[in-house]
Structure 1
């Protein structure tokens, strides 16, 4: 039986290399992916969902736009909540420590490992399918608009997150996103949980403290 390897004690950020999560080579290989694959899957899901809803007259143009924006906003809240309460859950047992390290701690130890900046394709398809059934069951035809906005937000998050780790901050108004995420990784891990937006950090009071000049 394949096992999840134990996380190292108090890992420090390393800018080269990659951690081994599973002792089974097949499972280990499945934990790596190119970020463009899940991004493409989510964008395709968003387009198909909107196209189906509009062409089958399940949505109007105005309602599709409003539902899309609602789904996008919902994703930013989900992104913040998952990052804060699941990826950074309190470590109170060895099982929790392994879960946290496998889900997110490995990313903090190897923040430049570009093959682990997005979920594997198999998991991406599963998540997209699960979201569709949840939204369809709870929202009816409105699901086609909300799902499109939600997975578009997911794709945007993955793209932004990849750029934050792989490229230097740009010399324009977007550089604040780089600084915000860098503070989460290197100085204030218990703050700055938003990646694609700082909106919910402002709302819930988890904006990082600014260092004095």
Structure 2
């Protein structure tokens, strides 16, 4: 596509091309290409490798961290009723963070070269190539960076004793989110609730990309008035 006398070559590494689109980037990135092939981002094979993540890496890497984190609260003297409150609370907190990150970071408007480039690598690539199964879940390195403020938030909210259990719940919520997200794109749900959720998310990708920011549910879209109109 041509914007400001620049044409994106889809057969060449994309990461350092998209910044040249300037103000036209937002329109370009929200015109999806529906195919399961993974476009190349970088010339470097190592950098390219870091951008690709199989979905099952998420539970394999992070479920042990969830178990370890919750066990830390127990070993420090947190009671089982307290843990039973903290873990679901953490999962609920994640649903709000999921919404906030998706709405205000992933869908931020950019037009500068580096702004467009960063946005494309963070989320724009997912809207341009929504069926790319290797660029759908968060790379573990990116999640590890996100865990730092999440851990600090947990300590701030409930203190050091219960923070590991709350953090474990938040991380468990993230795992459910990322696995659900992958399933909504590549699964074939037979249960009505799952089918409706898939339809809801596909509506965000292919119909109204400025609404419907919830992935695991539409709860916060309903609360914060970003529900898309019914089809």
Question: Please, which of 121, 137, 140 is the counterpart of residue 102 of structure 1?
Answer: 121
- Given that residues 15 and 42 in structure 2 are in contact (C-alpha distance below 8 angstroms), is that contact kept between their aligned partners in structure 1? yes
- Given that residues 32 and 130 in structure 2 are in contact (C-alpha distance below 8 angstroms), is that contact kept between their aligned partners in structure 1? no
Question: Please, which of 222, 225, 230 is the counterpart of residue 202 of structure 1?
Answer: 222
Verify: 1:63 aligned to 2:99, yes or no. Answer: no
Give unpaired runs (5+ residues) of structure 2.
1-13
Verify: 1:21 aligned to 2:21, yes or no. Answer: no
Give unpaired runs (5+ residues) of structure 1.
none
- Given that residues 132 and 147 in structure 1 are in contact (C-alpha distance below 8 angstroms), is that contact kept between their aligned partners in structure 2? yes
Distance 1:91 1:127 in 2: 22
Matching residue of 2:201? 181
How far apart are residue 55 of structure 1 and its match? 2.7
Verify: 1:90 aligned to 2:109, yes or no. Answer: yes
SS in structure 2 at match of 1:90: coil
Distance 2:130 2:97 in 1: 22
Which deviates the most, 135-144 or 148-157? 135-144
- Given that residues 73 and 164 in structure 2 are in contact (C-alpha distance below 8 angstroms), is that contact kept between their aligned partners in structure 1? yes
Distance 1:110 1:132 in 2: 32
- Given that residues 86 and 165 in structure 2 are in contact (C-alpha distance below 8 angstroms), is that contact kept between their aligned partners in structure 1? yes
Matching residue of 2:9? none
Distance 1:61 1:117 in 2: 35
SS in structure 1 at match of 2:184: helix
Matching residue of 2:142? 123
Matching residue of 1:6? 17
Distance 1:64 1:169 in 2: 32
